[in-house]
Chain A
Amino acid sequence: MIDGGNGNGEGVRGRQLTLTKKDFTSDQEVRWCPGCGDYAILSTVQGFLPELGIPTKDIVFVAGIGCSGRFAYYMDTYGVHGIHGRAPALATGIATTRPDLSVWVITGDGDGLSIGGNHLIHALRRNVDITILLFNNQIYGLTKGQYSPTSEQGKVTKSTPFGSVDYPFNPVALALGAEATFVARTIDNDRKHSTEVLRAAAEHKGSAFIEIFQNCNVFNDGAFAAVRDKQAGAQQNQIRLEHGQPIRFGKDGERGVVQRPDGSLEIVAVQDAGEEALLVHDMHRAEPALAFSLAHLSERPTGPTPIGIFREIARPVYGEAMDAQLEQAKEKMGEGDLAALLHSGDTWSVE
């Protein structure tokens, strides 16, 4: 690899960096359970990053606690493995002080939506320049199988032998509610789709939030079968959102989404509704209501479920706004002068 570059995807003096997946692979042995969806995500990310042309020295992975937390150790970039739930806050400190870096947050449904829920929503509303990958497996894996904030009601686990009574979060809806400027969903084993979503997220300025359906084959196997496994009819259930295209799905695109007069969404047979009645996906819509309705089109990923980019809008980036204030202050007050500061205001001399 050639090192250097400005961290904005441009190589040194215009030279294109030619990095490979290997450049992003650390010497640490990967230790997830065999068959875990995390392997696929790691491989996709390591395989995708070279195309950004950002040198490994300018990339930071920040992870929280949970199975996903180990991710940072496996990337041959800069990395911090923090404490439970706090990765978005740690990453905020990095991204706002160093806008030259490409900062990635790896979290899970327990880490990001339960113990760290507060940091996630605030990072999103501020539009800090970070990309958040939330591995949603609807279970606590590392602590060996308790229900999570995305587990379905009635879930029987070690901590809920009579079934969970908690109503679950919908991560995409939560991110939209938190005023996120980029919200997407993809699936661990769909490398092509994941890569497309990652690419769009990397290009986005500000916070990008990606929920990744991730299978935990040990504690919650098959949670996403309806949209993930061919045998379970995944092809029929994946509603692939594509900007500017009518929203339709099914083996031959025979089903689609229409907006009712009251604004709510409905899944219909295209034959009955007519192609022209289908809702055309617009991820750049300023107001989030339609994206929110799409997020709620399926309450659980057990039937037709939208994947892809729900929303992508432009809003000032937090770190840039902070830097602009520093520049303004320097212009207005002059570059800080320590001696002048200490002598400012009322002083007196003793001879």
Chain B
Amino acid sequence: MTKQVEQKDQVVVRFAGDSGDGMQLTGDRFTNATAVIGNDLATLPDFPAEIRAPAGTLHGVSAFQIHFSSHDILTPGDHPNVLVAMNPAALKANMGDLQAGGTIIANENSFVDRNLEKAGYDGNPLEDGSLADYQVFPVKMTDMTLEATKGLEVTKKEGERAKNFFALGLVSWLYGRPTDITTTWIEQKFAKKPAIRDANLAAFKAGFNFGETAELFATSYKIDRAPAKPGVYRNTNGTVALAWGLIAASVKSGLPLFYAGYPITPASELLHELSRHKNFGVRTFQAEDEIAAANMSLGAAFAGHLGVTGTSGPGLDLKAETISLAVTLELPMVIVDVQRAGPATGMPTKTEAADLMLAMYGRHGESPLPIVSAYSPAQCFDAAFEAVRIAVEYRTPVILLSDTFLGNSSEPWLIPDTDTLPRIDPRFATESNHDEGFMPYLRDDKLARPWAVPGTPGLEHRIGGLEKVADSTGNISYDPENHERATHLRLQKVKNVADSVPPLEVDDPDGDAELLVVGWGSTQGTIKAALAAVRDRGKKVAHVHLVHLHPFPNDLEEILRRYPKLLVPEMNMGQLSRLLRAEYLVDAQLYSKVQGQPIFVEELTEEIVRRLA
């Protein structure tokens, strides 16, 4: 039969299955094929905290969502149009998010009594009519995968395990994804296990062919290439972009990168990624604990390397005292916090952005430091580079805030020209700066102190956590006035960072919007999409997104005062909004969501409309 091809501009697909079903891999492969054919895209993996929760249960469900489009898109999508459910639990756990009337492609073979019971179904939803409002495609994926892999040198179990590639093949056909990208990948990935390679290839092809030939699917879809700036693109998630940003900063500063971390979800991925790039001279160190990781990075900084440590909220708590030492030692250091839902262990695999106050104030004494935040997966590269720039230029620890969503989700990235990335000059002290001998705290016009590394003759000096004469010798001082002067100097130096930050970009086409949305972090995509939706309804609304959270950019106050209404969407209980109120005495209103999930476009759209009314 001839199948129809229907044009679509955007689709949201969610692959869901048991955590052992390989859904992340399936999603990842689909994403790559999608990226390479030039659709714009955004992804959102969602996996359980348990490594192998009991098979078939609701809390063992792992999902991967991808939003792809022929135009510029900003978020992974609020509601999937298509749900691929590999078992009843995956269906049950994800049904609530599916768009009304959406499409369900289910592995019919797994809808048996035992699995239905584990998922808490009384009957079989594929048969009892409960899904009548949806388009349901039951497909015997397991049977067909076994059939396709028969005769290959794999066990039945190994053959069955290839069923995620069957699903991938089917969905690839449905949306016209090229097959060669996936087959090449399978061939390379499983080159050393030819039997598994062949099983996966067979399953993938069987899935694709099933879509093409079976009468079940009458239509496949075509999504055109999205318009984009000329250049070379790749797909990246926030983890990889952040790691590469650090490597780029290392290359551009000539400072060898030393990264110490302690395993913690979701920041471990950063340690893993950096560990792969030892040929850049990257030293990665898995420390005995979070505190050690911070101290090792600080030690590396003292020794003249680019000292970086990464963690998530619980680890940032532990590093606080060491960071305060870095504040008074005035050494360059970057602390990456990939935020997750807290407090305590909280929800380690779920996103939240509630560590801003911790970054800002979570140390004893007056302990100011610059804070930089990333706002999209690809922009993690720029944010990391900027954090290093500030740290080195101002001799200060810098906290770089990312979050679980940014780390895990992906988007196309226009690869920057490495020649145009600015050089970061470490400006090591090489000779004495004073007639009476080297003064480690004699400051430059930015108030940055000299960085004299061991091995430099004549500049031997001691620095430490005790209060010191903070504008010259660095010698221990308990003098009351010196402490006050030192406290002011440390703060003023951090405030001076604002002078090195470019003006903010305000998105306000006519310049007369009634409401300004002030965002930070991973809400950026949602805010931009919501703004587009609000403007479609004829309303005027503006947006500014902050990368520098401390100090605030010099022009922020003037921008805030331009608008009658301020709305701050945050994945916390009001941290940026509170800082804005405290700093500028403005009525910054909070829109809060703390569900371990990104804010959805439609939620924010409605909120903005309500505020404008």
Contact = CB atoms under 8 A, between A and B. Distances in A.
Interface string A81-117: 1110010011111111110110000000000000000
A93 B302 contact: yes
Interface in A332-351: 332-336, 338-339, 341-343, 345-351
Nearest to B466: A81
B463 A79 contact: yes
A83 B278 contact: no
A245 interface: no
Nearest to A328: B278
By DSSP majority rule, is chain A's interface helix, strand, loop, or mixed? mixed
B288 A82 contact: no
B365 interface: no
Given A57-B460, A343-B234, A98 B38 contact: no
Interface string B210-238: 00000000000000000011111111000
Given A82-B465, A93-B258, A119-B288, A342 B296 contact: no
A82 B325 contact: yes
Contact of A81 (B231, B289, B462): B462
Contacts of B298: 82, 90, 93
Contacts of A322: 283, 285
Contacts, number: 212
A135 interface: no
Given A7-B455, A58-B455, A350 B418 contact: no
A298 to B, nearest CB: 30
A350 B229 contact: yes
B457 A57 contact: yes
A286 interface: no
Nearest to B457: A3
A97 to B, nearest CB: 5
A333 B283 contact: no
B304 A90 contact: no
Contacts of B465: 65, 81-83
Task: Pick from A95, A122, A336 the residue with the most CB of B within 10 Å.
Answer: A336
A170 B230 CA distance: 68
Contact of B287 (A89, A333, A336): A89
A139 interface: no
Contacts of A332: 279
A142 to B, nearest CB: 12
B123 interface: no
Nearest to B230: A350
A290 interface: no
A100 B291 CA distance: 25
B299 A56 contact: no
Contacts of A57: 454-460
A350 B72 CA distance: 14
6 contacts: A78-B461, A83-B465, A94-B303, A97-B256, A349-B230, A350-B230
Interface of B: 32, 35-38, 181, 228-235, 244, 247-248, 251, 256, 258, 260, 277-283, 285, 287-289, 291-293, 295-305, 307, 321-322, 324-325, 329, 415-416, 418, 454-466, 475-476
Given A92-B295, A336-B277, A347-B415, 5 more contacts: A93-B296, A98-B454, A122-B288, A122-B292, A338-B248
Interface of A: 3-4, 7, 26, 28, 55-63, 65, 72-73, 75-83, 86, 89-98, 100-101, 118-119, 122, 322, 325-326, 328-330, 332-336, 338-339, 341-343, 345-351
